[in-house]
């Protein structure tokens, strides 16, 4: 197991790369946990989704079982945007 990575901030209205923010290379297996108070929209794509793109999956808040998502190795970059109005803390951990 890799060292613990500090939480990253997911912003409203614009997709951010969880790979870039966490320093975990795209294609690496990761475990993502929404630690905030608002749902997060999650997409896996080679390029940044447009701000109005509503595709992908919603990650709800803890303790819901949908607040944690495992992304397998070999996937493209992981993008996230909060559905709320403020930045939300997200844990992104190397899961190799």
Q: Which structure tokens are listed for 95?
A: 């899961």
**Looking at residues 4-32, what average pLDDT do you find?**
96
pLDDT at 20 over 70: yes
Can you give the pTM of this predicted structure? 0.93
pLDDT of residue 1: 58
Across 30-39, 41-50, 60-69, least confident range: 60-69
Domains along the chain with CATH numbers: 8-94 (2.60.120)
Query: HSE-up of 30 (CA within 13 Å, CB side)?
Result: 27
For 47-77, the pLDDT digits (tens) are 999 988 999 999 999 888 889 999 999 999 9
């Amino acid at each position: 197991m890799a060292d613990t990575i500090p939480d990253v901030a997911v912003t409203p209205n614009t997709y951010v790369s969880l790979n870039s923010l966490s320093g975990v290379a795209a294609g690496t297996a990761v475990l993502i946990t929404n630690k905030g108070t608002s749902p997060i929209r999650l997409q896996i794509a080679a390029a940044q989704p447009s701000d109005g793109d509503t595709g992908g999956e919603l990650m709800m808040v803890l303790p819901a079982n949908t607040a944690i998502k495992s992304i397998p190795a070999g996937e493209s970059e992981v993008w996230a945007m909060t559905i709320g109005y403020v930045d939300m803390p997200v844990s992104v951990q190397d899961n190799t």
